[in-house]
Every structure is written in C-alpha cells, then in structure tokens.
Structure 1
C-alpha cells in the first residue's frame, strides 16, 4: 500500500504547481546534494494503473480510509500538499481525511504518540546522515513520545545493520556503498515517501564579518560574527 500511495503522488505537480517551482523533487532519504546520495535510485513516477494494481494486490480493491496530518503554519509545504493527497489518493480508492492541528504541540503529540495513519513532516539531513537520517530509520530510535524519532515504527534488521556500520566506517567509498544499499532498501519498503527538498537561504548585512555560511546557517554559533563597520 505504501508503494501504491507513492505511485499515485505526482512530485512534479507538487513542486512546480503547489510550490511554484521553488522546491525541487526529492527521491531519497539522503539529500540529493550529498556525496552519499545514490543517483541511480529509481523514482516513483506517478502511475495510477500500477497504483491501483498494487491496491488490489494488497486486498483493498474495495477501498480504504486513512487520515493525514500536517505541520500547522506552513500551508505551502504542508496543508496544500495534504489537501492534494486527499484528491489524488481518491483515484486509487483511498478516502483521505485531512486532520488539522491547532498548534505545533498538538501535532507533535499525535505524531510522537503514534496516533496517526499518515502525516506530512519536515526533517533535516544536517551535515551528515548519522545526525539527520539515522534517527528516522533505526529501530532503536522507536521512542514513543519523542518527536522526530522513528515515529513510523519502521523496523528492518538489515537497515539497522547497515546504518550502524556506516556510522563508524572511515573509508568514504565503503561508507557510500553502505548508504547506497540503505537507500535502495528503504525505497522499496517505503516507510517514508520523499516529496521535495526545501531551499534555505541566509541573508545577512554586507557590513558583517564572518557571517554564518556553512550548512548550519544562522543556527551556527555567532561568537565570531562582528560588524566590519558601525551600523547606522
């Protein structure tokens, strides 16, 4: 069913129409600008015939009902896509109810408490997959009550083995091979459907010295930032 849902969703429409071309499609848990991204990974391009066949194969040819939650306050990246899922998944017999949350704590409580069918989310890779990717897929990180852990309760011993090995591997080529295997497994298991990568930009005054230009952006320590000339 997760694969069926993936084949029913049109990333190109979401990124070009709903997000007005600002975001780029994403087909892997590892950001496509990362040296560990597997460029050969096959995308789930929209294919309603294949999606309907998978739904029938899964035994839900007569239809099913699901809810989808979304992060409040980010309509362009969250609510609009959730509403799109409602209309799009109807085409493969899934009746989706969009469940809004009045505030972030409500959404976080539902998701971290595993009280959901599907949810929209935003996760960060950060500077290394160990920091930003492992937390979503390691079975050891299924921690109820903790948001941005493995909230979908995905458990695959092979994935655990690969990620634990990649965390301590010092050879870049071997590490890339491990992450390639990981990406191909989760692309088939599909515990998370990756839609888009959101661009982030740092704006700063040209009179500032040592502005934060690394991947951490304005979340970097600001102890070395200074005014090169007095601010008016």
Structure 2
C-alpha cells in the first residue's frame, strides 16, 4: 500500500454544499450557524478515525496556493444559536426553528450518509431539523443537485492540480449552468470572486498569484456557499512483486507504462 503524497494533485475534497438561493440558506448567517454547530474535528478524528486531513478551504492543504489562515469555524453552539436568532428564526414550542433536506448518494457511506446522520443529530442542538434524502443512484442525485432541487448536500469535488481546472468552476457566476453537475451548483455569485479568479488565471508572478488566491479563499470561506470537511485520502493496494506502481501526487491517474513484475 502506497501512501505519502499519493493523489495530492488530484485534490479531492469532501464538503457540505449549500443552495445559497434557497431560503433560509440564502442568509449567510444561517450558513455560518450550521458551520459553527458542526464539529469538524470530531468528524475527522472520530467518525473518520483520523485517516483524513482537514480541508479548511476550497484549495487542498497540499497545494502551494492554499491559504491556511481562513476562518476555521470551530465548534460554538452558543454562536450558532445567536446567529439563528439574529437571522429571525426563533425556535418553536418543539424547539425546532426550521427543517432542511440533506441530500446524499447511496455510495461512500463513511464520507456521505454517516456524516449526514451525525449532522442531523448535531444540528438538532440548535433547532434545525434535517431530513436525509438518499438518492437511489448517482444520476438521480446529480439531476437533483444540478437543477437546484436541494437545500444542502454532501459532495466530493476535485481541484485537479491547478485552480483554473478544478476550483474556479465551483465559484464563478458564469458557471451557474442548470442541469450540469459539478458546475456552480450552489448558485453562488460574487463579482469580486469572479474578478480575483479571472486575474489569477493569467497571473504569471507566483507571489501575486498566491495573493489573489489567498483573497479568494478568505471571501469564499467567509461567505460559505460550502462548508469544507476533509481531503479524501488515496491508497494503492498491490500484490507483492509488482514494481513501478504510481506513488506520486497524481496517484492512480498517473501513467502506468513502467508497471511490471519484479525480475
């Protein structure tokens, strides 16, 4: 089994995406309240048994363009409740403020359904009821999410080496494309973000490019169309005696022309 930096260039992130055009999630205070009510450290270290790395923002930590200084949304139930009160969602007699649907596919339980089960229990503490909707197959889930028929969903999206390839698509407003999965399915719009990503795409000075992406990450994490959970780990299992197994940052998508049996 090969580990180390395996698959880092693929940049796979597991996250909770919000439909920011649908009430009550159209209010950033509600999205932040959910973030503060969830314990990402518990998710990473207990539910996922410490086998994954935390993903604090839209660019994976292993990238030289990652910004480690974004808001972490540490667990704070009092702050979550205060934000929900401020947003005008008082608890009813049953303690519930409102109900949200949480979507997930029927595959990858450890980083999908199990996390939503935890979120359902955790968000109940701040008066949010979560109804989990498990899609019977990927096409059903993709149709729902890409046509904005959802409140929030667990999703897994890849950076693909450079933000221009795998990151921009999730946040630029011109990529809000109904029916297209893994576009800007959150329907997030911010003119400044559009400008930053356009500038960073053509900037050749490494330091200036890093500064542009740093600002982009700070804005996106603050406005939180997505609550970032964890980097998805890659492992390669192979039979003893096989050499030339891809063990670099591109992992299983690397060329396998040197794969052979040991002589």
Following the alignment from structure 2 to structure 1, what is the Cα–Cα distance between the partners of residues 122 and 245? 43
Query: Does 1:211 pair with 2:245?
Result: yes
Corresponding residue number in structure 1 for 2:260:
227
| Number of equivalenced pairs | 229
- Over aligned residues, Cα RMSD in angstroms? 1.5
Please identify, of 36-45 and 114-123, the stretch whose mean Cα deviation from structure 2 is larger: 36-45
Using structure 2 for the length normalisation, give the TM-score: 0.83
One of 19, 32, 40 as aligned partner of 2:48: 19
Following the alignment from structure 2 to structure 1, what is the Cα–Cα distance between the partners of residues 238 and 258? 11
Q: CA deviation at 1:203?
A: 3.6
One of 234, 238, 244 as aligned partner of 1:200: 234
SS of match in other structure, 1:196: strand
Corresponding residue number in structure 1 for 2:138:
104
Following the alignment from structure 1 to structure 2, what is the Cα–Cα distance between the partners of residues 178 and 207? 46
Query: Does 1:81 pair with 2:115?
Result: yes
One of 177, 183, 189 as aligned partner of 2:223: 189
Query: Does 1:6 pair with 2:35?
Result: yes
Query: Does 1:71 pair with 2:96?
Result: no
Higher relative contact order (Cα pairs below 8 Å, separated by 6+ residues): 2
SS of match in other structure, 2:143: helix
1:25–1:195 Cα contact (<8 Å) kept? yes
In the alignment, structure 2 segments of 5+ residues that lack a partner are 1-29, 92-96
SS of match in other structure, 1:69: strand
Corresponding residue number in structure 1 for 2:80:
51
Following the alignment from structure 1 to structure 2, what is the Cα–Cα distance between the partners of residues 116 and 42? 26
2:56–2:68 Cα contact (<8 Å) kept? no
One of 152, 174, 186 as aligned partner of 1:140: 174
Q: Residue deviations 1:35-89, cap 9 Å, x none?
A: 1111222300010000000001111123111000013211111001001111111
Ranges of 4+ aligned residues in structure 1 off by more than 6 Å: none
One of 68, 74, 80 as aligned partner of 1:39: 68
Following the alignment from structure 1 to structure 2, what is the Cα–Cα distance between the partners of residues 207 and 98? 45
SS of match in other structure, 1:81: helix
Q: CA deviation at 1:92?
A: 1.1
Following the alignment from structure 1 to structure 2, what is the Cα–Cα distance between the partners of residues 216 and 31? 14
More strand by proportion, 1 or 2? 2
Q: Residue deviations 1:171-195, cap 9 Å, x none?
A: 1100100011001101110000001
SS of match in other structure, 1:68: strand
Following the alignment from structure 1 to structure 2, what is the Cα–Cα distance between the partners of residues 204 and 168? 40
2:52–2:230 Cα contact (<8 Å) kept? yes
Following the alignment from structure 1 to structure 2, what is the Cα–Cα distance between the partners of residues 168 and 206? 45
In the alignment, structure 1 segments of 5+ residues that lack a partner are none
Corresponding residue number in structure 2 for 1:29:
58
